[in-house]
Amino acid sequence: MSEFDLTGRTALVTGGSRGLGREMALAFAHAGADVVIASRKLEACQTVAREVEALGRRALPVAAHVGRWEDNDRLAEAAFAQFGRVDILVNNAGMSPLAPSLAETSEALFDKIVDVNFKGPFRLSVLVGERMAAGEGGAIINLSSTAAFKPEPHTIPYGGAKAAVCAMTVALAKAYAPKVRVNCIAPGPFLTDVSTAWRENKTYEQSLGLKRFGRPQEIVGTALYLASDASSYVTGQVIRVDGGSW
């Protein structure tokens, strides 16, 4: 299991205060990493930071809105100033609000969805990836969605942004090779606190290969694999963790 050991490394997780992000942040700490937890609400980040510190690791909570260019710049600087390095970057923060209809999708809503789901991960990946490539290397993990592969009319901006994340993953893997590995996880339906709109949809649940929705902790195995030396020959890949969303 030594290949999964993250001792001496620093991980930066956006959207790290709840849901899948929190699970990944705590898993990295369990594996030995110090963790930068970023989300819009500082108090929520501080709560997870205390959980990380209770595991004997160092933590840095940072309030940042990844849809804003300048917040990503500030987040990257804070991480490097505190720890001197970022070995693992997880672009997990995202949002998927729905408009009343296609025609009623406002420009502001469209821009907000693209900003958080694509623009932010691009900017933060470049800021951190450049320094990884100039230093000792590292691993970048992007979070896409099965919406990138199964586009639906009501999620066009979101699915489009997540498809862009998949394309970006391959392009950045080429840009920062050979020292930086860039991969992507495409989650299916997980029972997080934002799943209220569909968690009681039994037809949807039974359409999945495993006949159930995912538990947040079930993202951890794939995240640890991609963050660690266990995946040392894996880059530019999109791995679906979706319970069989065919």
Helix and strand numbers, DSSP H then E, in the chain: 8, 7
158 is catalytic: yes
How, if at all, do strands 238-241 and 180-187 pair? parallel
What span, in angstroms and rounded, lies between the C-alpha atoms of 181 and 220? Answer: 18
Q: Write out the two tokens for 174.
A: 């080429």
Find, among 244, 193, 242, 238, the residue nearest to 218 by Cα.
242
Q: Which of 158, 176, 225, 233 is catalytic?
A: 158
Q: What is the set of active-site residues?
A: 158
